[in-house]
Amino acid sequence: MDNLNNEKNESQLINTNNISEGKDFNNNNDNYNFQNKFFKHKVRIKRGLVSYVIVGLICSIVAGTASTAATLYYLPNSNFFKNSPLYQNLKSGTTATSTNYINASTVSTKGSLTVAQIAQKVGPAVVGVSTTGISQNDYGFAEKQEGMGSGIIINDQGYILTNNHVIDGAQQVKVIFNNNKEVSAKVINYDENMDLAIIKVTDNVKMPAVAELGSSDALQVGDPVVAIGNPLGKELLGSVTTGVISAKNRQIQENTKNTTKQTFLQTDAAINPGNSGGALVNSQGQVIGINTAKVGGNGVEGLGFAIPMDSIKPKIDSLLKPILKIGISCRDISSDVAKQNNVPEGVAVIQVQEFSPAEKAGLQAGDIITKFDGKSVKSVDSMNTIKSKHKSGDEINLEVYRDGSTKNLKLKLSE
């Protein structure tokens, strides 16, 4: 493989400021953190004609070494909300709330378990996920940041399902079992759009339990559920709360360029900081959702949200596969942008990670990838689709546009 000169000539680089219509992409294979890695996006809930902005994440954040801050999704306490259809439904009882339900252990349902039995069955499979990373404070200085969330053991090989925002930006990951034993782990793969991630225990230890995954589609509004997680951090590891399914098919949309909408389960089971990635469990002791978001505020209680398990199951197999690294930050080049810049459609390379497969292959900032593995690509998504069919060590042929000419490169994928 030819070693290309990586020195960049500014005249060779396309003007990325003119590619505003493109899609930002930080190759989600890397530990290399670009500028937007640590940002937590606002999320918007839509109910009828009304939108509610959720302004945080259910995960405990410890900034520096002494101060603790919990970031939550909160709904502003406003007349706008109180006059909304959602609030009126909650007030009138159209949507099931805790007032319709006393205690899961007293409900007689065929094949159902008591809350104590559910806790005994599922509790050992719910773990704490502790992360450490580096962020920039308000004064521009690097600062150690620690986070705490929850996760669910999904097989006896140590693979754990959690939220992407729990491990986002993490440089070190630890797993804490319900007996307080702490072990090392690593991020295997993640999906930012669905806010899902898989991590794996790297220490040679036996898993205390494996969660049984159930069907969220089979749920009915009013069905009893149990939430298990780590509210407020390690001190309250494995806490159990009860409630009901208040509603299904709630939509939350990130307030970003990404317009992907997700459907959530709504529950009134108490969900608090640190519960992110924890289990929402049905009366049979099956995990039917991953606790993800909470709405709160004065006069607003019992609005928790979980990703439905039937939305998660199709993604698990792909998330169990280690991410294959390329090592670039890039952006889609649409047909309009291509015409404006007099360049071909494809994927523009904005930044190349040092020592990455991309750098070793000779990719440079300003290159436009037009073919990936011999197939034409016009978006990051299409490139990722092709990449997902390969394994570590595979060599990919690239065709790139650079300085008015086409070059052929070879890139070797790695984990």
Q: Is the pLDDT of residue 101 over 60?
A: no
Give the model confidence (pLDDT) of 345-380 as tens digits: 999 999 999 899 999 999 999 999 999 999 999 998
Task: Indicate whether 10 pLDDT > 70.
Answer: no
* pLDDT, mean of residues 251-267: 70
Residue 296: which pLDDT band, with cuts at 50, 70 and 90? low
pLDDT above 90 covers a percentage of the chain that reads: 47
**Is residue 7's pLDDT more than 50?**
no
User: What average pLDDT score do residues 14-19 get?
Assistant: 43
Please tell me if the domain spanning 123-201 has the same topology as the one spanning 328-413.
no
Q: Which CATH entry fits the domain spanning 223-320: 2.40.50.220, 1.20.5.440, 3.30.470.20, 2.40.10.10?
A: 2.40.10.10
Instruction: Tell me the CATH class for 123-201.
Output: mainly beta
Measured in whole angstroms, the distance separating CA 182 from the mean position of its chain's CA atoms is 23
The predicted-structure confidence for 372-402, as pLDDT tens digits, reads as follows 999 999 998 889 889 988 888 999 999 999 9
pLDDT in tens, 153-208: 999 999 999 999 999 888 899 999 999 999 999 999 998 889 999 999 999 999 99
Which sequence positions are flagged as catalytic?
Answer: 165, 195, 276
CATH number of 328-413: 2.30.42.10
So where are the chain's domains? 123-201, 223-320, 328-413
**Whole-model pTM?**
0.65
